[in-house]
């Protein structure tokens, strides 16, 4: 995955949105953390991994991937908001592979920890935990990058249509 390319695209999208909505001087960190947590919940809902009471199958893989890249948008945006640079982002996947429910919980915990610290170490843990979640979900870095680029276009179109 070309993080430099994705980070550049995210900076442009963030700037577009913040300029359009008069938010350039705002600290959006808290709102972006909450948005990430909501997106993580939406992703879990599409996988249905925690719905032990239901026999309904998970959503189609394409739907799950689109929800996953919504989280990538907010994680990148949080890194930008925190002032991190692409050189700060050599993200390594954790060695330990968790089951899907445990991985979701690990990412939630990492997001909350990063919210409290705003540290580079906690950001890296959040990012790498999310990348590990992609692996658990069966997504490759190429699939993620391609889906991110497509969703980035959709996000711009939504802004142009008054979303």
Determine contact, residues 41/74, Cβ cutoff 8 Å: no
> Measuring CA to CA, how many Å separate 70 from each of 64, 108, 141, 159?
10, 15, 15, 15
- Rounded to two decimals, the pTM is 0.91
Domain 3-160 architecture: Orthogonal Bundle (1.10)
Distance CA 32, CA 124 (A): 16
Helices (H), 48-140: 61-81, 100-117, 120-137
Percent of the chain at pLDDT > 70 equals 94
Tens of pLDDT, residues 107-156: 999 999 999 999 999 999 999 999 999 999 999 999 999 999 999 988 88
């Amino acid at each position: 995955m070309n993080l430099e390319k994705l980070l550049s695209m995210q900076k442009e999208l963030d700037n577009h949105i913040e300029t359009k909505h008069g938010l350039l001087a705002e600290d959006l960190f808290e709102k972006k953390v909450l948005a990430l947590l909501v997106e993580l919940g939406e992703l879990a809902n599409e996988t249905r991994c925690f719905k032990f009471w239901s026999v309904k199958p998970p959503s189609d893989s394409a739907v799950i991937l689109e929800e996953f890249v919504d989280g990538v948008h907010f994680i990148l945006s949080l890194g930008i908001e925190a002032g991190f640079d692409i050189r700060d982002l050599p993200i390594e996947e954790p060695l330990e592979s968790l089951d899907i429910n445990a991985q979701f919980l690990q990412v939630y915990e990492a997001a909350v920890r990063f919210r409290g610290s705003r540290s580079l170490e906690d950001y890296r843990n959040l990012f790498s935990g999310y990348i590990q979640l992609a692996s658990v979900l069966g997504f490759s870095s190429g699939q993620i990058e391609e889906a991110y680029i497509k969703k980035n276009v959709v996000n711009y179109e939504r802004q142009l249509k008054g979303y």
